[in-house]
A and B are shown apart, each in its own frame.
Chain A
Amino acid sequence: KAGVTQTPRYLIKTRGQQVTLSCSPISGHRSVSWYQQTPGQGLQFLFEYFSETQRNKGNFPGRFSGRQFSNSRSEMNVSTLELGDSALYLCASTPKIQGGETQYFGPGTRLLVL
């Protein structure tokens, strides 16, 4: 099976703009989680979607939002970008409904906000 894919891989934006990132999970995986990775903060959980519904949410401001489509592909959106939003954004997919299963990560989208 193909792995988790993310687009775009690199992105440069300016403060105040908004950005949309895309994640395609492994075929058959219904759960998609998003993480923000920065050198100082490690992997921070953003949110998780299953069957087009957000099931869990991390401690990020409302500028960060997401959605999931019927084919399990997911997008995340960041509005009114700030310099501190510069990070590697990773998505991960999981096959099963219940927790405790392996999360498979995509290559990430590296966002730079100028």
Chain B
Amino acid sequence: GENVEQHPSTLSVQEGDSAVIKCTYSDSASNYFPWYKQELGKRPQLIIDIRSNVGEKKDQRIAVTLNKTAKHFSLHITETQPEDSAVYFCAASIPGTNDYKLSFGAGTTVTVRA
């Protein structure tokens, strides 16, 4: 099955600096790569996603890049703010029995220091 590896597991950054989280996947058939943010005690929420026919996507301070050849994708957060502190999960959709299913990375706990 699909194996999504996510690094680092924890990340501490100074407010205003950038944060980068990297994920790799194993199944070349994966075609959809969402990123979720989960604040303490809350549900995961989609913050950005990218499909396999696109190499980069940006939404304000958040960007995602995808390298299909190397099978890795990354989340970039610029000008970090305290409210960016959360657990971030990457995921990759892989072919299942009848449809695609999401396989998640183990998560990265991001702490933004004021």
Contacts and interface: CB of A to CB of B under 8 A. Distances in A.
B112 to A, nearest CB: 21
A102 B46 contact: yes
A105 B44 contact: yes
B104 interface: yes
Nearest to A99: B100
Interface size class of A (residues with CB under 8 A): 20 to 34
B106 A48 contact: no
Given A42-B105, A90-B44, A102 B100 contact: no
Secondary structure type dominating chain A contacts: strand
B102 A98 contact: no
A45 interface: yes
Contact of A43 (B89, B95, B96, B99): B89
Given A48-B96, A100-B51, A105-B43, A33 B106 contact: no
Contacts of B1: 59
B25 to A, nearest CB: 14
Contact of A55 (B51, B89, B99): B99
Contact of A98 (B44, B100, B103): B100
Interface string B70-114: 000000000000000000010101011111111111110000000
A56 B99 contact: yes
Nearest to A39: B107
Contact of B96 (A35, A55, A59, A108): A55
A36 to B, nearest CB: 11
Interface in A28-43: 31, 33, 35, 41-43
Interface of A: 31, 33, 35, 41-45, 48, 50, 55-57, 59, 90, 97-108
Interface of B: 1, 31-32, 34, 36, 42-46, 49, 51, 89, 91, 93, 95-107
